[in-house]
Homo-oligomer: A and B are copies of this chain.
Amino acid sequence: VFNIVDIIDACPYIRPVELSGAAQAAGERLSREVIVEAYLRIVEGQGNDGVNMRRLGRELGVDATAVYRYFRDKDEILAMAAARLLREVTRDLPGTGGWRERLRALLLSLRRVYFAHPNALLALQLVAPMLDEGYENVDLALALLRESGLPEEEIPVVFEALETYTIGGTVFDARATPESLERWRRVYSGMPADRFPNLASTGRRLYTDADKAFRCGLDLLLDAIEAKAHATRMDER
């Protein structure tokens, strides 16, 4: 059995952490918000792997170890950065329209937001904070799946499939570089045509546009969900 204390304890950064105005005025240089913003700023400039604690301290004009008064460890900073980014996912989404186009826009927005921050996303996977806001997108995805007419018992597992595809695919695509993709094309297209005819013929046409491939798979998934929901509705009559 678990209680709220476990949850709070597992996610210290959801405690009331906002420093009061008074405390700010008292001259503190750091806060959780400031640290997370510095982290995101560095990623934007240096890239996803360009962040270490010393670099973060430098960005904040503070000793590298000062942030340990605000976060338990580095992963907690990343997870809070991811939670911060979560809030942006549902921003600028169409509030009206069919379930399919809204779900599509939602998952593409998730990919867009996290593509530049795969490490933060991976940290979030293992931490699961209790948030006041940020999970609107998850609730909405479930709501839209319900709206599709899919049988109730399939909703959790279909949701998971969509989530895995979106997050897994985004993290994976974000790791690739133009060079690594070109290398794969070269290797595949250079394989002996007698033993690997399909690689030899198709290798050159692979990995030209990761976003296009992602949208292709997403649309296939939505096609199948729509068809299955339609079949369910027919059965019910």
Chain A residues engaging chain B, CB cutoff 8 angstroms: 2, 4, 7, 10, 122, 125-130, 135-136, 138-140, 142-143, 146, 154-162, 164-165, 167-173, 175-177, 180, 183-184, 186-188, 190-191, 195-199, 202, 205-210, 212-214, 216-217, 219-221, 223-225, 227-228
Contact = CB atoms under 8 A, between A and B. Distances in A.
A15 to B, nearest CB: 15
Nearest to A196: B139
Given A129-B187, A165-B217, A214-B161, A138 B199 contact: yes
Given A122-B175, A188-B135, A216 B146 contact: no
B139 A180 contact: no
Contacts of A125: 172, 175-176, 180
Contacts of A180: 125-128
Top-7 shortest CB links A-B: A161-B217, A168-B168, A142-B198, A160-B213, A168-B172, A220-B224, A128-B183
A139 to B, nearest CB: 5
Residue with the greatest number of chain B CB neighbours at <10 A, chosen from A154, A172, A199, A227: A172
A130 B128 CA distance: 40
A198 to B, nearest CB: 4
B128 A198 contact: no
A160 B126 contact: no
A122 B176 CA distance: 10
A10 B183 contact: yes
Given A160-B207, A213-B161, A172 B171 contact: yes
Nearest to A155: B202
A224 B46 CA distance: 40
A126 B159 CA distance: 30
Given A127-B180, A128-B183, A128-B184, 15 more contacts: A7-B186, A126-B180, A135-B188, A136-B196, A138-B199, A139-B198, A142-B202, A154-B216, A156-B206, A160-B206, A160-B216, A164-B172, A165-B217, A220-B228, A224-B224
B220 A187 contact: no
Contacts of A2: 186
Nearest to A207: B160
Looking at A126, A207, A210, which has the most chain B CB atoms within 10 Å of its CB?
A126
